[in-house]
């Protein structure tokens, strides 16, 4: 098995999470989700449509986010990615800042359309490389987008998984609770517990996250790197570099 980087592992996991989707979109400042979506498209033999916002090659919109929101409302996007300065155990995300709003101690860019797509897109994957207690908190200071809704609220979309630099979680929408699915090689369940501020379900034996095989690495370091370089040239230049 060829050596792989943590970034290449995350790209591989993203692609696996997108299997079966017809149309996947990735937002701004999302090089790993974007590369993972392009890998998933390649593995689907072109059956999947991928929209990478900001790309000259893989964005076919004329009005960016406006058309993204329109397609989401029509049910024509199957998967999207959201992050957050804070994420809690009920899959609430905070993109506004820390402290008591509006007098926040730290201010982040803002919620934009996060709540909108969280309600409408069926398979929303929460992605954040940093996995620490300052990010994975017991309760977010501000809810930019809620992970759950009360009965009777129309909500075809919502959280599907949480992928971090330490492991992969799936989200149970009925119980509003994460379950640890796998741990990345070089890390442990104990490390994840130590760095997570919320409780989560955990099986007695947690498997290691499947690593990329030689064909997947070749694709990432070849065609995927070339495609994602259109939008993220500095990120692409690092793909295939020594871990």
Q: Tens digits of per-residue pLDDT, 161-214?
A: 999 999 999 999 999 999 999 999 999 999 999 999 999 999 999 999 999 999
Arithmetic mean of pLDDT, 54-59: 90
List of domains in the chain: 6-84+113-133+157-238 (3.40.1080.10)
Mean pLDDT of the chain: 95
pTM (predicted TM-score): 0.96
Burial 139-167 (b: 16+ CB within 10 A, else e): ebbbbbbbbbeeeeeeeebbbbbbbbbbb
Q: Is the pLDDT of residue 21 over 60?
A: yes
Neighbours of 203 (CB within 10 A): 10
Q: Tens digits of per-residue pLDDT, 85-124?
A: 999 999 999 999 999 999 899 999 999 999 999 999 999 9
Q: Is the pLDDT of residue 18 over 90?
A: yes
Q: 64 and 241 in contact (C-beta within 8 Å)? A: no
Q: Measuring CA to CA, which residue among 122, 128, 119 is closest to residue 147?
A: 119
HEC string for the chain:
CCCCCHHHHHHHHHHHHCCCCCEEEECCCCHHHHHHHHHHHHHCCCCCEEEECCCCCCCCCCCCHHHHHHHHHCCCCCEEEECCCEEECCCCEECCEECCCCCCCEECCCCCCHHHHHHHCCEEEEEECCCCCCCEECCCCCCCECCCCCCCCCCCCCEEEEEECCEEEEEECCCCEEEEEEECCCCCHHHHHHCCCCCCECCCCCCECCCCCHHHHHHHHHHHHHHHCCCCHHHHHHCCCCC
Q: Residue 95 corresponds to which tokens in the numbers above?
A: 């993109």
């Amino acid at each position: 098995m060829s050596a792989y980087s943590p970034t290449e592992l995350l790209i591989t996991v993203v692609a696996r999470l997108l299997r079966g989707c017809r149309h996947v979109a990735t937002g701004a400042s999302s090089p790993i989700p974007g590369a993972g979506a392009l890998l998933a498209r390649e593995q689907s033999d072109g059956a999947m449509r991928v929209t990478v916002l900001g790309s000259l090659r893989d964005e076919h919109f004329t009005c960016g986010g406006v058309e993204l929101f329109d397609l989401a409302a029509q049910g024509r996007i199957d998967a999207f990615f959201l992050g957050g300065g804070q994420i809690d155990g009920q899959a609430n995300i905070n993109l506004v800042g820390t402290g008591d709003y509006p007098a926040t101690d730290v201010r982040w860019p803002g919620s934009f359309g996060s709540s909108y797509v969280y309600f409408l897109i069926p398979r929303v994957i929460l992605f954040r490389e940093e996995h620490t207690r300052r990010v994975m908190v017991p309760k977010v200071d501000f809810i930019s987008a809620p992970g759950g809704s009360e009965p009777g609220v129309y909500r075809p979309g919502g959280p599907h998984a949480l992928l971090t630099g330490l492991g992969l979680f799936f989200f149970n929408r009925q119980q509003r609770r994460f379950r640890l699915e796998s741990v990345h090689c070089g890390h442990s369940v104990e490390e994840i517990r130590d760095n997570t501020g919320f409780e989560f379900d955990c099986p007695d034996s947690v498997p290691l996250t499947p690593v990329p095989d030689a064909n997947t690495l070749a694709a990432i370091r070849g065609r995927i790197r070339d495609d994602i370089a259109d939008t993220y040239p500095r990120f692409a230049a690092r793909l295939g570099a020594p871990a």
